Structure formats: C-alpha cells, structure tokens
Structure 1
Amino acid sequence: MKNFFPVFLFLLLPILAVAQTRVGGMVVDQDGEAVPFANIVFAGSTEGTISNDNGRFYLESETRYDSLVVSFIGYERLTLPLTRPNMLDLEIVLQESNEQLDEVVVYVGKQSKKNNPAIDILRKIWEKRRVNGLRKFKQYTYDEYEKVEFDLNTIDSALIQSRLFKGMEFVFEDLDTSRITGKTYLPIFLNEKFSRVYGDNQLGEERKDVLGNKNSGFSNNQAIIAFVQDLYSQYDVYENYLKFFDKSFTSPLSTTGIDTYNYVLADSAYLGDKWCYNIIYYPRRRNELTFKGDFWVNDSTFALVNINLQLTRSANLNWVKELYIEQDFELLSDSVFLLKRDYMLTDFALNKKEKSRGVYGKRTTVYDNYQFDVERPAAFYKGETDPFDPRIFERDNGFWEQNRLESLNQDELGIYSLLDTLKTVPRFKSYYNLVSILGSGYVEIDKWNLDLGDIYSVVGFNDAEGWRFRGGARTYFGQNDPWRLEGYMAYGFRDKKVKYGISGKWLLDRKMRLIVSGGNRRDIEQLGLNLTATTDVLGRSVASGAVLTVGNNDRLTNLNLTTFNLQAEPFKNLRLGFGASLRTMRSALPDAFSLDYLDPDAPGGISSEIKQLDIITSLIYTPGRQTIGYGVERREVNENYSTLYIQYTRGLQGFLESDFDYTKIQASYSRPWQLGGFGRMFTTLEVGRTSGAVPLGLLNVVPGNQTLFSIYNTFPNLNFYEFVTDVYVAGHLEHNFNGRLFSRIPLIRKWNLREIVGLRGVWGQLSEENQLLNSPANIPLRAPDKQIYYEYSLGIGNIFKIFRIDFNFRGNYLDLPEARPFSVTGTFGFHF
C-alpha cells in the first residue's frame, strides 16, 4: 500500500455527538442461524442499514424513533418497539413467510437472472444513465464542500489506561459511537475544502477552483496530506467499476453486475412525491471485490434517489475492515436528480477481527448551488486558480460559516484546538516523530532546519566495497521550500575508501516550474540496471548494495558524475529539460570486469577510463499525474497515469577532455491499465539508438538482475552486461489479477492470494564498429539480434499480506555460458 505508515500517524485523538436513537445486535432465523443482508430501517423513515455476512448490524440516528422494521425476502416483516433510546444487544428472530409480495416473485439465496423484476429495472437504469444528472445539460456549475476526518476507533478502558497514552488521558474525555459499525471512536484529523466546479459536456472539460482549505493537526506534513488526497479519489456509481485503493470494485449498477450480484426487488413506496423501487443486492461469490447494500430508484426516470454500498467482509482487500458509502440525490426539477451528499467511511485495521482496533477515514462531500447552460469559452477551462495560493489556507471563520454546506458539530470544531494542545505534549511529539521517520525515511532536526537520512540506505554490501555504511542530510525548512541542498558520505570497509554525493536545486519561477539543479557524486555504482544512463547525482540502484545476489556481483563501476540541469513545466504535466553531464568511469574491479577500449593515443593503444561530456535534452509527459505542494520538490498523490519519456543525448569530443562524439535517442512509454474485474496491468515499451562508436560504458546494457528482488523493467534471468546494444527495442508487461482466479478455488480462496503474470522481451543489435572498439574488454559483448530474447514469470502475491514471490523462466538463448534458465525473486510491502 502506498504510504501505509502515515495511516498509523492518525492513531491518537476527540468527538461528541449525541445520537437520539441507537440500535444494534443480530438478525437470526427460527433455527438461530444468522440472516445476512436483512433490511433494518427506523419505522417511518428511509434511515436504515443491512446486516453483515454474520447477521450483525448497528444503526443510529439523531432523531428519536420508537420502532424498528426488519425485513428480508422469504421472511415475515417484523416491527420491533424501541422502549429505550439505546438498545445494542438485540437478537431479532425472523419467521419464514408463506406469502409472496404483491407482483414480486420471492427469491432466496442465489437469484435467477430470468424473470427477475429487479434486473428489468437495472436494465432501465443502464439505458438512462448517460442522460441522467449533470449529463442532461450542456454546461454546469456547482459548489462542492468536502470534509475529511480520521478517528482512532475501538476505544476501551484498557487502551485509555495503557502506557501508550500516559500524559494524554484528557483526549478521552468525550467519545462517540459510529452509526455504521457501533464502535467508539476518537477524532484526530480534520480537513475542510470548499471549491467551485465548472464543466462543459460538449467540450468534455471540467475546471475546479479551490477557494478555501483548512487543515487540522498535520497541515505541515506533506506525506500525510498526499496520503489523504490519494486515498479518496472521485468515483461515479453509474460507472461499471469503482476504483478504491488501486483496486477496481464492480459497481452494483454495472452492466456486468448481473454476473456478479444477486438482485431482489424488495419494496416500492413514495419518497417525497415520487414513486420509487427499492432493490437489495449482494454478491454471488465470496472473495471478490464487491459490495452489498440497496438502492432506491425513480420509476419514470430510473435515476438514483439514494444508494448505500458496504464492502463484503470476504473481499480480497488488505488493511481495510469496513468500507461503507452512502449517496443521496435531490430532485432538482420534475425529472432531474442530482447528487446532493456523498459519505464514505473506511475502517483501516491490521486484521478483520471484530474487536481489532484501527483508524476510521471518513469523507463527506456536499454539493449545492447548481447552475446550468452558462456557456464559457474553451480557454476558461485551461486556467484554474492556484490551489496552493497561501490565501486559500488563510480563510477566516466568516468564510467558513458562509461556505460550509454542512455544519461541523461541536467536537469537530474542537479538533482544531485539541491538536494544538497535543503538540505540546512530549509523548505525543515522540510518537509523531517516530511515525514521521518511518514514513519519510528522515530524522527531523527542527532547530537546524535539517533532516538526517535516509535511514533505509545506511547499510549495503557489494564485491568492491564489502560492507558499506552511508550517512546523509538535507535542508528542510518546510514542505514548500523553494530550494534544497542534499548530500551524503559513505565508507566501504573492503576498499577503505570514502565516497560522497552533493546536490542542490532551486525553484526560480513557480508558475513555469523553472528549476535549476546540479551536483557531483563520486561513488561505486552498478550501471546497466536501466537502459537509460543515470544522471541522478544522489540516486543509487538496488543492485549496488544488495546483500544477497546470484552469481558474482563484480561488474561495478567507479563513477565521478557532475551534472547541471534546467527544467521547466510550460504546461501541466509536460516537463522539458536541458542540461549537461560530465562523467568519468572506470572499473571498480578490473580483474573481473573491464571497461577497456581501443585508443590509439593511449600508452599501449588501450584506455581503461572514459571521460565524457554530454548535452542532454529531455521531454516527460505524464497526463493524469496529480501532485501536491508548490516548492522545489512536489509529491505525487496518484499512480494511475501514463508516462511518455524522450531523451536526446549529444556527446561532445575534445571539450573538457571529453573522449567521444556521438548521438543517442531514447524513448519509452509506460501505462497502467485498469481492467475492471480482471485486475490491473502495467506495460512499458522502450526504444533507443546510438550513432557513433562508443565504449562499453556509453552503450545500452540490457538490464539484468542478479539480486533476489523482483524489479520491474529488468530481466531477472539475465546477468549484468549479458547483452549490450547500440540499437534496441524492449517491452515489459505485468498483470495482477488481484485474486480473481484464486478466489474460485475453494481450498485456497480464504487466503486471499493474488496471481501475477509477467512477460518481457528485448531485441537489439551491436555494430561491428562497436564490437571492434570494445575488443579489449574482458567480458563477451553480444546483442539479442538473432531472435527476441524473452522471459515470462508466474507470481503469487499477498502472502501473509506483505510478501510476493515470482518464478521466472528464461525463454531462449539457453546455450550461452552461465545462462540461468530459472530464478526465484521476491519483494515485500504494504499494499491494499
């Protein structure tokens, strides 16, 4: 899971909202067996819920009700008097019914797809969904108010009295109970945002102007803000698939829903003055990414009136115990229903046990002040307000009182002052610092405006340096610093040499994102792990310090790299770069690996060192990329965007003693593919050509991988420098089915494993001119020019929720010396 550690930062803090009616318990049949998906509603209202897979439910309301209605197809409807405002241990027994609903066929268990009135209504929804809501108008404008809150849940006396909260007991003075789960919780984070949205359906354009943003608790922590923004992406229940946590869930309104869900027409009634149908849905199979719930739909427009979606407990999703969504639509005119309120609750926890503690993430979005058919020029949609304008974050109370489309309760208002108080508590500051270190990899030294790290690069090992230790630091005044300096020093205990790197970058123009940067690095590096030569002053490949490797990891290079770059972003997500690099390269272990080449001007006619000055022009286009922050370093908050990369390199001979004159053109295109219920695919295509004779250090090495880690864009059955090219085409494909296949195997589906397949291939050439120039090298130089070299892999992910293992197979070139026909690699991480 991306940025998983910041979630645990929210494990600390208060809310009070006294509900008038609370009910909870279990629904069973005459034999005491649980009744899942039973409908529970306060009598005379549309406030209700559905029992979970185990028949349990919890429901609350700010209104006082005196009775509860419980129903399910095939059972008698039961009206239960509520003698007290809080009745949380109910056991509701439903009696089997001998009658059928008027004009509705009774179904139990798996529902038929034929002669089912609920599915007939569903088909009408499909026909009308493209002309419902905002789609009916040429242009639209509306106000949007969003409130995001995080709460620590399952508060009990043991937690309150634990040493964890010693000195912070005051935060537990007021607690509340979730109307969805029935758990006590304690709010610890609140963010409010008010925006005005403009759209044009004819142009296919939309613009959002953020007019106010107010943050409590962790407003200066960019990692947390990025996590929150990425967590709650927009969705449309009318679409076939809803994307949450990088997973695609089948919508109950999907055109594929008939094969995924059971549908039951449960009721029909007037909502306001409109006749509506109530449809209950629940999944046909376990362990799939599905919901359960119900929705009300108008009988003439077949537009939604309201809908709720609750994640099934067996869904193949990590770290999320509950996911609940409510959407309410309002009648704008006689036939137009527009989204009024969208509520989403997520219960993050280490496991799905009933009593496990976790963190609630809640987002409430309210929409109002709709206007239609006000035409604006196309240029209007290209220029949006600056979401990082400091004035947006400095709105006074008067602004929020006027623009909150839903009022905060007293305890939500109290979060702002509570967090200010907590920050003065030493124990809280210690917890905050610990989680911040784990999330960012840096130790903050506030009084020096310095960060030490990163902590994950302290120890490494390779054949040239032996054990290696590294320490680094960077300037850090705030998340939006206009400049940053960074550096490190390292020491190898085998070669007994000190290495270092230092870099700096400055943001010269914020609007154009004009950045100047430069630096110098002297270190040992495993080159050839990417087809594109490194120009990253401080970057270091995984293979350069991997403790566990396959075979000899001795093809290492002493690198002295100096760079200078200018980068600008004239249009959103289009970055242009121009710069220069001066590299000096020689082998770190000449006896095992040499960079020797023919040089008539050198003693003996052979040189072992390359000195090269390159002028580099680049273009990076990332449509759909979202970032946060406006300083010299911004943070990405999403992963589902394509990347087009083009680089032109011109090597200059003679200037600054540079050795070679050549040109190199390289391009790559990477794209993620959300394939609905079939999972997620990621593909990359790379091409490149080098013109002119150059030594091995300047050629394109097909990236092998001798580590035990699964690294995308490498070939795990290739040794380093096994294939070298000056012309190449490479492709990579990896598809994660997200458990779709394993979920259909009864013996293993409860393990929630995920199946991954991969296919990789490369074709390339090495000219005779380059082969001759590099003839003194002590490793064979060959290219995959006879046929496309390819590999394929079969992987199993989500082992114990954090491990993945890949079985990699070499498809050809098996007769080469030291060819590895098979390998096993793996990786670990926190993924949803």
Structure 2
Amino acid sequence: MKRFLSVFFLTFITCVTAQTKIEGVVTDDSGMPIAFANIIFANSSEGTITNDNGRFYMESDETYDAIKVSFIGYETKEIPLEQKVNYGMEIILTESTEQLQEVIVYTGKQSKKNNPAIDILRKIWSKKRENGVRKFKQYQYDKYEKIEFDLNTIDSALIKSKLFKGLEFMFEDLDTSRITGKTYLPMFLNETFSKVYGDNVMDREKEDVLGNKSSGFSGNQAITAFVEDLYSDYDIYDNYLKFFDKSFTSPLSKTGIDVYNYVLSDSTFIDNKWCYNIIYYPRRKNELTFKGDFWVNDTTFAIKKINMQVTKSANINWVKEIYIEQDFEVVSDSVFLLKRDYMLSDFSFSKKEESRGVYGKRTTVFDNYNFDNPRPENFYKAVADPYDPRVFSQDIVFWKNARLESLNEDESGIFKLLDTLKTVPKFRTYYDIVSILGSGYVEIDKWNIDIGDIYSTFGYNDAEGIRMRAGARTYFGQNDMWRLEGYMAYGFDDKKFKHGFSGKFLLDRKNRLIVSGGNRRDIEQLGLSLTSTNDVMGRSIASSSLVTVGSNDRLTNINLSTLNVEMEPVKNFKINVGGSFRTLSSALPDAFSLDYVDPASPTGISSEIKQFDLNTTLIYTPGKRTIGYGVERSSINDDYSTLVLKYTKGVDGFLESDFDYEKIQFSYQQPWQIGGFGRLTSSVELGKTFGEVPLGLLSVIPGNQTLFSLYNVFPNLDFYEFVTDTYATVHLEHNFNGRLFSRIPLLRKLNLREIVGVRGAWGQLSEENIALSAPTNIPLMAPEDQVYWEYSLGVGNIFKILRIDFNFRGNYLDNPDARAFGITGTFGFSF
C-alpha cells in the first residue's frame, strides 16, 4: 500500500508539472540491459541516453506521441506514447541484419577509420576558434545565474520517518527532476546577475556583478564555499573539463577518439540549420569520461546542442550523477553563441539508484550580446566591487528585469520555506550538528561567539602527556570586519597551562588593509617547516600526535608575540610587514638541547633564545578565488600557484634580543592538471641565513615522525636530522586519479588511485654556526655532500576515505637511526 501511494503521489506531481514524461529500461532479446542506447522524442531533437544499467528518464514541456529507440547493431524502434506520463516502459531491441548507410557498424567499440562521426569531429577541431565570441574583436553580454540545492529521492517512507517527524510540512511542494525522474525538495537558491565585457585584441575580460540574492544558509561559510565550487567555468571545446578537482576528457577533445566511441546517428533541421547528431560513449569503464550526444551544424561545424552525463563507473566519489546540457543560438546566420548552460550534480554516499542525496544545480542564461564596441584598457582594469552592499539589496523590480529565466513555483517557494524552517527547533538542531561537524565550531548566536575548534580538544606529546584544549572566537557573520580568537590548554604531565590569543582588524576593505597581533605561550614541534612559525593560534599535527615514529622528544617551549600590517594593493598580491618577539627553550632538556655559546653568561652557555625580528613578506597567488569581504576570507579553489618571498631581519639588543642576522627565503608551489593523466603538485623552496645564529634560529629540513602523510615534508627524516643555513628543496607528487589501475581488470572496480612522489633537499651549515650551537645530544649536519632524496608510492581512495603511502629513503642510510622505509597515511573526503 505504501508503494502504491508513493507511485500515485509521484505520478500526480509529474502530471501537473510537464507535458510528456517517460521512464523505463532498454534490453536485448536475452534480457541484458543496453547501455548508451539513444532515446529521442519522434520528430524532435530532444533526447537522452540510457545509463550503464539500460535505464532512462526523460521529460519535455512539449507533447509528443512517440519515441525512437536506437543503438548500433540493433534495429531502430519507434514506440507510440499512449499518454503523457509513461513509467515502467520495457523496450526490447533486436539485432540488426543490415548496416547503416555510410557507417560501418560495430557492437561496442567503434572503428576510428572510415567513421563519418570522427571526420565531423576533426572539422569541429579546425573550426572551434572561429565560433562564439572569439569571432569578434570586442563583446559584451548579460549573464543570469542561479544555483540551487535540493534534497532528492523523497518517498513516503522518508516523509514518515522519525527523522522528519514534525517537519512534514516541508514536503508539501515537491517536484520531479527532468533528468533523473526523482522527487526533490529545494533547500537553497542563489541568484546572480552581471554584465560581462571582453576584448579579444587586448585579451581582457571583466564581469560586473549588479545583483546577488540568496535564500537558505547563505551565512554558513562551509556551505557557501561548497556552492561556489559549482561556479567553475568551462568551455566544451576545451580538451579537458575540470569538475570537483578532476579533469574529464571533453567529448570534443582532440584526445577524444582514444577514450570515446562516436556514432553518426541522425541529421535534421534545427532553427533552420541542418545539423548532424553524434552519439558518444566511453571506450573503457572507470575513466573520467561522459556519455551523451551533440548536434553540430554542417557548414560552420559549431555545436548547436550538447548533453554530457558522467558514467556511473567513473572514478569520482560522492557524486552519483553529473549532467550538463548547453544550447546555442544562431546570430547573423552563421555565428553560434551560448544561450543556456545547465549543470546538475547528484551528491550521494552511494551510486545505487535508490540512494538519497542532494542535487546541486546551476543554470546560466546569456542574452543581449553586443559586439565590436571598443573600450580603453582602463575600463577593464577598473573592476567593480562584487561585495558592494547595493549588490545584495536589489529590489523586486530589479530582479523581475534581471531574470533571463523566470523562477518556477518551487524555486520561488524556497524563500518562504527557509524562513519557516529556521523557526522549527528540530530543524535548527539538525542544522547545528551538520555545521559543527563541517566547521569544527559550536555557534552561540546570542553571544556572537563560536566555541572550538573541537578537533583540537585532545592531544598527546612527550612533554605534556595528555593535553586538553578549549577555545573560542567572535563571530557575527562570515564578513566580520574584526575577529578575536583565543584558547587555553593544559598538560597533565608537566602540569602547566598554555594559551594563545589574537586579534585581526580590517581597516580598509578596498586595499584589504589589516592590522593583526597576538601572543602565544605553548609547546610546539618546530622543524616541520623551513619557515619559522609566526602563527599565534595554529599548531602542527606533530605537536599533538598520538602515535609517533622513533623518539619524538625534540619539542620547544615557545613564547611568541607578533604585530603585523597587511595589505592587498593588487588582487591576489599581499604585502605583510611586521615584527615578532620570541623566546625559545627546550621542553625536554635531557633529550633535546637548544643551548648555545654565550660569553655573557656566567657559565658561558645559555639555554634560552630571545629574539626580536622584523619581517617583510610578499605573497602572490595568481588565479586564487575567494568568497567574502571580511577580515577572514575562504578560498574556494586549489588550482592556483603560490609564490612567497620573505625577508627577516634579526635585531640584536632590542628587548634583550640576542642575535643580529638576515634571512631571505623564497618558495613556489604550483599544481598542474596534466590533462587526463591526473594532477601534479610541485614546490621549490630556497633560503639563506646571513650571520651567526644558534640551532633554534637555523632552517631545519622538514622531517616527519608522525604516521600522517604530509606534503612538503620528508617522511623518512627525523626532526632536526638535517639543519642548514643555506638550503634548496624540491617536492613532486603526482596523483594519476586511477588512470593506471583502471586498466587492470582485478583492480578496476575498486576505483583506487595511484600516487607517486619524489623529493630532494640540499643544504649547507657553516662552521661558525656549528660552533655557536652547543647541543650535547644531537649532531648538527647538512645534506651538503650529496642531495638527500626520497621517493614514495601511494594508493589512494581506499574505501573512498583512506590513502596509504610507502616511503623509501634514497641515501644517507648511515645516519644514526636512519629510517630506510616507512608507511604513512591519511584520512579525508575527496571527490
């Protein structure tokens, strides 16, 4: 009875929201499902492709009385539609006894030779730079974008479950996805209207955001950053399309013939233009590819329509479905311009058909194209402020004119629904739990304070034993102009309290002028990075690791005070000027010494370093995208390079500072998307210290005695094993994203991902600095005679959350307690 009510309810909903809907499965004579079969409404260009299990769903606002079903090697079948909604269709195709005209037919893989579809594809490649806005010197257009998140796969069992008891009113207005046929409930909506200007001669483009409106949880940074990930732009003519940190081979790629099968299926007039229909689907499983079809004009070879759907076997986590469709309009009889871009992502823990999840949908509509209107270069340099308060407070009249595509009834109802939900205590409890797990902070709204970070509450090290920590921060909203933060910690072995507190103030939003400062008195594992820490709130994972390799007893007492001024005169270019005063001493003197020769000391040896430094840091992050305009912003992409140049001047005598020295350091980190071969991350660091300084101020080649895989460290080095005053390091790590394992039958279904890494370090340590330091329990040496190097082989995506690395030491195996081999790992959620 429950199933009957669910089907009845679903059918009723669908009948009132669309003209024609079909759903079913396509099989062969033996009952085996036929994947990638072509389904099309008769006498139209509207169609879809069956999934890996032969299932399909399609709907249209138009009324059709028949569908055509076809697949290579089978007879095409036309099936009449007796009513507007046809669910549970079972379509059987019989094998063809004839070949299609002009096409050599193969079952499964298609020939690359004598294939007219590939001939057309080659013409698309040769013409792609002549289509769209590239044909004109200058261009401009209006752009309207809406992003929506919905709960999906809602049935009567879910509605009546204890989880939603008292929240049944949420499900009064359900709709059905025209892509998957599943019921869904809209929960979040963001709208943006902007004007885009471009100049192909100067290679300039700018986008002026004129309106931005959100419903739902727009104040939550984690949700907002996740939503922003759907904003990533793509061009279907590019060889590779990036979604969720993965590079998918475009069906229009020049490498497409190696990973796709192409079939010339049909031809017809679309908007008075003769177009060919080409179906494509993957040659192999588990690769990052699509299935679908596209319509291409027979003279310009410009795309008129395209739809792309990620196959369920693709090596991507937590995303059950990615569907993209683009429509192009014809201008001046020969120019094809993008009119509408639609993308749907189905996020779910499982890829099973019945699994529930969340839809992320983006719709972008383009209109009012205008060409060859030149503007001076200053016009493109003067970028509008996307966080202007007026952008977020546009009235009803503005949005009525700005919406190039009207909101449907369900989208319009999101605003009212969320206002109601926020008043329901049970829903608020659910929201708070998810928010705490995502951000690590417990929100206390009435005090405008967050308690946390909860993930730093418990720790352990050799100096403190068991360690407990509690902290808090001010939080009025994600765009706060100032923020205070602090913590207290207690070690049960040393029986000492520790603390840290900081304050940040944004004085000028346009130039991002920020004044910050703070103090920290704590125990820290230094030597995990080549740059000395100036973070009064952060803490390295090595300082609280529950399990370590070898004797992890080289810990330092640190008392650090900082004051800094930061500004961003040019987008993604930061200048930081400040000062710091620190005192350093060993937290375990019997095991680890920071002593140095001090003629002014009665014993000739001092155990504590006092140092005042002046710092100037330049940071350039081209391509970095952020959200928010407050004192703290969130990054929403990780494909940008980072260049850092830091100069440190140690001042002797000021505040009893001990040493006068200079240090210059440079680092460059760059991720590289190597087409369909995965992602390479590279980094280079260089540095030199001028002047004599003790161990506590030297540059330590970063070791790792934890069991965690950490980038930019050497996992087979102990802390302080190599110490330098001049150094150079290189790190290379490549993730093939399963491209190799997908070719091995026994491993293919596991969706594992292979990672390889190699790293090296060279350095020098002067005799003067060796003589100045007086450690009695560790040797001081640098990798000067030969470059120290390591390599690693890793397996990622184990159970979708685990990565294990096998690390090998290349040389310096005669060092005391040298570790020739080690295993590290890490947990995490990644696509």
Q: Do the structures match in fold with TM over 0.5? A: yes
Mapped pair 1:150 → 2:149 = yes
Post-superposition offset of 1:109: 1.4
Query: 1:362-398 CA deviation, whole Å, 9 max, x = no partner?
Result: 1111000000111111121122111111111111111
Helix, strand or coil for the counterpart of 1:583?
strand
Contact 1:556 1:588 in 2 (8 A): yes
**Which whole-Å CA distance do the structure 1 matches of 2:796 and 2:265 have between them?**
39
Match of 2:496 in 1: 497
Contact 1:15 1:411 in 2 (8 A): no
Match of 2:676 in 1: 677
With 683-692 and 70-79 compared, the bigger mean Cα shift is at: 70-79
Contact 2:140 2:198 in 1 (8 A): yes
Query: 1:538-562 CA deviation, whole Å, 9 max, x = no partner?
Result: 1110000000101111100000000
**Which whole-Å CA distance do the structure 1 matches of 2:14 and 2:777 have between them?**
70
Helix, strand or coil for the counterpart of 1:748?
helix
**Which whole-Å CA distance do the structure 2 matches of 1:192 and 1:107 have between them?**
46
Match of 2:467 in 1: 468
Post-superposition offset of 1:225: 1.2
Mapped pair 1:26 → 2:59 = no
**Which whole-Å CA distance do the structure 1 matches of 2:621 and 2:401 have between them?**
37
Helix, strand or coil for the counterpart of 1:35?
coil
Mapped pair 1:384 → 2:383 = yes
Post-superposition offset of 1:76: 2.1
The one-letter amino acid paired with 1:684 is S
**Which whole-Å CA distance do the structure 1 matches of 2:573 and 2:162 have between them?**
51
Post-superposition offset of 1:270: 1.3
Query: 1:680-720 CA deviation, whole Å, 9 max, x = no partner?
Result: 01000000000111010000011100000001011000000
**Which whole-Å CA distance do the structure 1 matches of 2:391 and 2:212 have between them?**
6
Query: 1:761-781 CA deviation, whole Å, 9 max, x = no partner?
Result: 000000000010013442110
**Which whole-Å CA distance do the structure 1 matches of 2:276 and 2:595 have between them?**
79
Match of 1:772 in 2: 771
Contact 2:138 2:198 in 1 (8 A): yes
Match of 2:8 in 1: none
**Which whole-Å CA distance do the structure 1 matches of 2:675 and 2:615 have between them?**
40
The one-letter amino acid paired with 2:526 is L
The one-letter amino acid paired with 1:813 is Y
**Which whole-Å CA distance do the structure 2 matches of 1:48 and 1:407 have between them?**
24
**Which whole-Å CA distance do the structure 1 matches of 2:145 and 2:468 have between them?**
46
Query: 1:229-263 CA deviation, whole Å, 9 max, x = no partner?
Result: 12331100100000000000000000001111011
Post-superposition offset of 1:636: 0.6
Match of 2:733 in 1: 734
**Which whole-Å CA distance do the structure 2 matches of 1:695 and 1:351 have between them?**
55
Match of 1:826 in 2: 825
**Which whole-Å CA distance do the structure 2 matches of 1:437 and 1:551 have between them?**
35
Helix, strand or coil for the counterpart of 1:412?
helix
Post-superposition offset of 1:322: 0.8
Helix, strand or coil for the counterpart of 1:601?
coil
Mapped pair 1:232 → 2:222 = no
Give the 4+ runs in structure 1 shifted more than 4 A.
14-17
Mapped pair 1:361 → 2:391 = no
Matches within 5 A, 1:402-421: 402-421=401-420
Contact 1:597 1:777 in 2 (8 A): no
Match of 2:160 in 1: 161
Contact 1:16 1:174 in 2 (8 A): no
**CA 1:629–1:16 in 2, change beyond 3 Å: closer, same or farther?**
farther
Matches within 5 A, 1:414-813: 414-813=413-812
Query: 1:121-158 CA deviation, whole Å, 9 max, x = no partner?
Result: 00000000011111111111001111111111111111
Match of 1:275 in 2: 274
With 641-650 and 430-439 compared, the bigger mean Cα shift is at: 430-439
Helix, strand or coil for the counterpart of 2:746?
coil
Contact 2:15 2:85 in 1 (8 A): no
Mapped pair 1:194 → 2:182 = no
The one-letter amino acid paired with 1:37 is F
Match of 2:816 in 1: 817
Match of 1:115 in 2: 114
**Which whole-Å CA distance do the structure 2 matches of 1:486 and 1:312 have between them?**
46
**Structure 2 gap ranges (5+):** 1-12
Match of 2:339 in 1: 340
Contact 1:16 1:411 in 2 (8 A): no
**Which whole-Å CA distance do the structure 1 matches of 2:533 and 2:416 have between them?**
48
**Which whole-Å CA distance do the structure 2 matches of 1:218 and 1:78 have between them?**
48
**Which whole-Å CA distance do the structure 1 matches of 2:480 and 2:334 have between them?**
51
Helix, strand or coil for the counterpart of 1:603?
coil
CA RMSD of aligned residues (A): 1.1
**Which whole-Å CA distance do the structure 2 matches of 1:99 and 1:807 have between them?**
55
Contact 1:606 1:776 in 2 (8 A): no
Contact 1:17 1:411 in 2 (8 A): no
Helix, strand or coil for the counterpart of 1:413?
helix
**Which whole-Å CA distance do the structure 2 matches of 1:584 and 1:494 have between them?**
22
With 408-417 and 749-758 compared, the bigger mean Cα shift is at: 408-417
With 802-811 and 88-97 compared, the bigger mean Cα shift is at: 88-97
Match of 1:219 in 2: 218
Helix, strand or coil for the counterpart of 2:749?
helix
Helix, strand or coil for the counterpart of 1:751?
coil
**CA 1:448–1:41 in 2, change beyond 3 Å: closer, same or farther?**
same
Helix, strand or coil for the counterpart of 1:604?
coil
**Which whole-Å CA distance do the structure 1 matches of 2:440 and 2:377 have between them?**
44
**Which whole-Å CA distance do the structure 1 matches of 2:142 and 2:755 have between them?**
43
Post-superposition offset of 1:476: 0.7
Query: 1:18-76 CA deviation, whole Å, 9 max, x = no partner?
Result: 11211110111222221211111112222211111111100111222211111222222
With 405-414 and 71-80 compared, the bigger mean Cα shift is at: 71-80
**Structure 1 gap ranges (5+):** 1-13
Query: 1:510-563 CA deviation, whole Å, 9 max, x = no partner?
Result: 111000000000000000100000000111100000001011111000000000
**Which whole-Å CA distance do the structure 2 matches of 1:716 and 1:222 have between them?**
33
Post-superposition offset of 1:95: 2.4
**Which whole-Å CA distance do the structure 1 matches of 2:64 and 2:255 have between them?**
39
Query: 1:392-428 CA deviation, whole Å, 9 max, x = no partner?
Result: 1111111111010001111110111110000000001
Matches within 5 A, 1:27-426: 27-426=26-425
**Which whole-Å CA distance do the structure 2 matches of 1:103 and 1:756 have between them?**
45
**Which whole-Å CA distance do the structure 2 matches of 1:278 and 1:482 have between them?**
54
**Which whole-Å CA distance do the structure 1 matches of 2:651 and 2:211 have between them?**
51
**CA 1:80–1:389 in 2, change beyond 3 Å: closer, same or farther?**
same
Post-superposition offset of 1:463: 0.3
**CA 1:424–1:284 in 2, change beyond 3 Å: closer, same or farther?**
same
The one-letter amino acid paired with 2:662 is T
Contact 1:140 1:374 in 2 (8 A): yes
Contact 1:670 1:682 in 2 (8 A): yes
**Which whole-Å CA distance do the structure 2 matches of 1:80 and 1:114 have between them?**
33
**Which whole-Å CA distance do the structure 1 matches of 2:775 and 2:198 have between them?**
65
Contact 2:230 2:362 in 1 (8 A): no
**Which whole-Å CA distance do the structure 2 matches of 1:176 and 1:776 have between them?**
71
Q: State percent identity of aligned pairs.
A: 72
Contact 1:139 1:201 in 2 (8 A): yes
**Which whole-Å CA distance do the structure 2 matches of 1:520 and 1:489 have between them?**
12
With 165-174 and 750-759 compared, the bigger mean Cα shift is at: 165-174
Post-superposition offset of 1:104: 3.2
Post-superposition offset of 1:15: 11
**Which whole-Å CA distance do the structure 2 matches of 1:743 and 1:429 have between them?**
43
**CA 1:15–1:54 in 2, change beyond 3 Å: closer, same or farther?**
closer
- The answer to which structure, 1 or 2, has the higher relative contact order (CA under 8 A, 6+ apart) is 1
**Which whole-Å CA distance do the structure 2 matches of 1:760 and 1:176 have between them?**
53
The one-letter amino acid paired with 2:61 is E
Contact 2:74 2:95 in 1 (8 A): yes
**Which whole-Å CA distance do the structure 2 matches of 1:797 and 1:501 have between them?**
36
Helix, strand or coil for the counterpart of 2:122?
helix
TM-score by length of 1: 0.97
Paired positions, count: 819
The one-letter amino acid paired with 1:826 is G
The one-letter amino acid paired with 2:406 is S
